[in-house]
Amino acid sequence: MRNIEAFPLSSRILHWGMAVMILAMLFIGVFIASTVGSGYHRLVALHRSLGIAILVLAVLRLGNRLRTPSPPLPADLPPVMKVGAHASHILLYTLMIVLPLVGWGMLSAGGYPIPIWGQSVLLPPILPHNPMLWAWLRSLHTVLAFLLFGLVLAHIAAALFHGLIRRDGVLRSML
Amino acid sequence: MSLLHRLYATRWQRIEKMTTNTHTPPGSILRWLGVIALPTVLTLAFLWAGGWLTPHRLTQASMLDALRKGSGMQSGFRRNHAKGICVAGWFEGNGNISSLSTATVLKKERIPVIGRFALAGGLPYQADAPGKVRSMALRLSPSDGQEWRMGINDIPVFPVGTPQEFHDLQLASRPDPATGKPDPTRMQAFRTSHPWLQPAMAQIGQRPVSSGFADDTYHSLDSFLLVAEDGTKTAIRWAMVPVQPAMPDAGHTNDHDYLFQQVIKDIHTHPLQWRLMVTLAGKDDAIDNPSKEWSQDDRQIDAGTLTLTGIGSEENGPCTGITFDPLVLPKGVMPSGDPILQARSAAYMRSFYLRSGEGPTTPAISPEMTALPATAKDKRS
């Protein structure tokens, strides 16, 4: 029952690398939406580049997740928690991919050039220039980011719940 | 699974068995605190990052609030420079500063331009008047996608040097509801508390006023850095200097839209041209403070010519869906450390977001007003 296997090394590297990136991204995002200070332009540029990096990694990670089997959840985990665990993971993967796409799409609709990694690469627009669409996607970007932050918090709390309260090896499987 | 990990896992299973055997009650308070501590810390940090824990921090919202205090809520319009008109044409660089910057817009090439003339302030239906600040906004779009956007003004220096000063000036100069004019005591208080801005305010007050948009000179005010092939950076400001001779203002007291009507007539008659005059910073020039004038002895280079041939209303006009964010810069041009630039970029983003969501507007300068005289006649008959 408690013989939970660990995730493969590739999964753990992707998980922790992206954990740092996504948390950084959420904090930078909420900061640049409110600041008028000296770091604004550089942080917006970083936000764009990091967002595209997360998109690429999230797609790789989804492939990795579908290819390599994940350790099963403890058999004695209440069904509600099992459903919660599965649903929240589906949502996390969805947002990791959708949120950067909404960001890319909103800048396209806003008619902005989309340079990443300095000025070296210009991403092509993925949506037509349309100010109403830009405003709508800009709002959606905020709502989805708050949702992702909430999910990350729930994910952390759940991991600590497994590690400190249930002590069932689930947290260990990702360390 | 790696060997190391297998060892780790077995050790963990052993610990797990031990803890199961001792049968600790699952819910000790300390362990629960451990569960909620990290999420709580992250939530607080997130609220701090978003400015919710620091109500006095200058944010994009507080900048736009300060502007709105002067103009009221003008749904769908730009939060500043609200009354405007779209223009179109091209820019032709002459290669004179290609050695200082790799920007493709500065090469000997004709580049399409969408632009906008406007009056400063958040009032979209304000009456034209000689003393009001006029602006030119441009988007230069070379074929390689390395766009250059700029919003430049017909004042010699910016009235303030920091975003906080800009915010406070908006509040000080907001119209008194009783008179419709700025409250002189509030303005005086701002001047007294900001003596270092006196020279800038005096220079703006004493600037020569030209007859209209066409013969006006527009200044970048903020400084930028040109980046050469070898990475050398050169601090610059620039101005669009009219090729048309500058005429003094002729006085139009009761004409609500005379500045716009004049520029419509001008462009319908002949193309309007400006020279892009780039000023290289001298050793004593303040690069990071747009309220400080630069030396008259600085080297100036003519970098190319702007030609405007088309004009149209903002109603469905090509400039309406563009925010002229001064930090949309091509490779080869970089922002300087000027703090006003950062605040402009951030506030423009938010203004563009809000106004786009509020939907289309009915601008003061209508499509009928900007139509070719012949077409206007056809419409009437």
- A33 touches B: beta carbon within 8 Å: yes
pLDDT attached to residue A4: 64
pLDDT attached to residue B17: 43
Q: What is the pLDDT of residues A74-119, one digit of tens each?
A: 888 899 989 999 999 999 999 999 999 999 999 999 999 999 988 8
- A131 touches B: beta carbon within 8 Å: yes
Write the CB contacts of A147 (distance below 8 Å, at least 6 apart in sequence). A91, A95
Q: Is the pLDDT of residue A48 over 80?
A: yes
B111 with B99: CB under 8 angstroms? no
Question: A85 to chain B, minimum CA–CA distance in Å?
Answer: 16
β-bridge pairing B333-335 and B224-227: antiparallel
pLDDT attached to residue A3: 52
What whole-number distance in Å separates Cα of residue B78 and Cα of residue B71? Answer: 11
The pTM (predicted TM-score) of the whole model is 0.89
Residue B360's region, left for phi above 0, alpha for psi from -120 to 50, else beta, is beta
Interface contact flag, B359 A132, Cβ < 8 Å = yes
Question: B189 to chain A, minimum CA–CA distance in Å?
Answer: 25
Interface contact flag, B328 A23, Cβ < 8 Å = no
C-beta neighbour count of A109 within 10 angstroms: 24
Interface contact flag, B39 A153, Cβ < 8 Å = yes
Q: What is the pLDDT of residues A114-150, one digit of tens each?
A: 999 888 799 999 999 999 999 999 999 999 999 999 9
Residue B138 backbone dihedrals phi, psi, to 5 degrees: -135, 145
Could you say which of 1.10.4160, 1.20.950, 3.30.200, 2.50.20 is the CATH number of the domain covering A9-174? 1.20.950
**Mean pLDDT value of segment A57-83:** 88
Interface contact flag, B38 A156, Cβ < 8 Å = yes
Interface contact flag, B357 A136, Cβ < 8 Å = yes
Interface contact flag, A165 B352, Cβ < 8 Å = no
pLDDT attached to residue B15: 42
Structural domains of chain B in order of their starting residue, each with its CATH number: 80-156+208-338 (2.40.180.10)
Structure tokens at B32: 């629960």
- Three-state secondary structure readout of A17-84: HHHHHHHHHHHHHHHHCCECCCCHHHHHHHHHHHHHHHHHHHHHHHHHHHHCCCCCCCCCCCHHHHHH
Task: Give me the residue from A41, A149, A156 closest to B342, CB to CB.
Answer: A41
Distances from the Cα of A164 to the Cαs of A72, A160, A174, B14, B179, in angstroms?
Answer: 19, 6, 15, 16, 67
Question: A56 to chain B, minimum CA–CA distance in Å?
Answer: 23
Percent of chain A clearing pLDDT 70 (strictly above): 98
- A78 touches B: beta carbon within 8 Å: no
| Nearest Cα residue in chain A from B39 | A153
Put simply, the chain B residues between 127 and 146 with a CB less than 8 A from any chain A CB are: 145-146
- B351 touches A: beta carbon within 8 Å: no
pLDDT attached to residue A120: 79
Q: Where do the domains of chain A lie? A: 9-174
Full pLDDT tens readout for chain B, 381 residues:
344 444 444 444 444 444 444 445 555 888 899 889 999 999 999 999 999 999 889 999 999 999 998 888 898 999 999 999 999 999 999 999 999 999 999 999 999 999 999 999 999 999 898 889 999 999 999 999 999 999 999 999 999 999 999 999 999 988 887 787 888 999 999 999 999 999 999 999 999 999 999 999 999 999 999 999 999 999 999 999 999 998 888 776 678 999 999 999 999 999 999 999 999 999 999 999 999 999 999 999 999 999 999 999 999 899 999 999 999 999 999 999 999 999 999 999 999 999 999 988 999 999 999 987 665 444 443
In this complex, how many residue pairs, one in chain A and one in chain B, have their CB atoms less than 8 Å apart? 143
- B76 touches A: beta carbon within 8 Å: no
Interface contact flag, B59 A112, Cβ < 8 Å = no
**Mean pLDDT value of segment A18-41:** 95
B304 with B317: CB under 8 angstroms? no
Residue of B11, B12, B47 to mutate, testing the A interface (most A Cβ within 10 Å of its Cβ):
B12
What whole-number distance in Å separates Cα of residue B80 and Cα of residue B124? Answer: 9
What whole-number distance in Å separates Cα of residue B331 and Cα of residue B334? Answer: 8
- Residues linked to residue B74 through DSSP beta bridges, in sequence order: none
β-bridge pairing B224-227 and B218-219: unpaired
Residue for token pair 């527009």: B218
Structure tokens at A49: 């580049």
- B10 touches A: beta carbon within 8 Å: no
pLDDT attached to residue B255: 84
Dihedral of CA atoms B229, B232, B238, B242 in degrees, nearest 10, equals -40
Structure tokens at A48: 């764009």
- B48 touches A: beta carbon within 8 Å: no
What whole-number distance in Å separates Cα of residue B348 and Cα of residue B343? Answer: 8
What whole-number distance in Å separates Cα of residue B381 and Cα of residue B379? Answer: 6
CA angle (B159, B294, B343) in 5-degree steps: 40
pLDDT attached to residue B10: 44
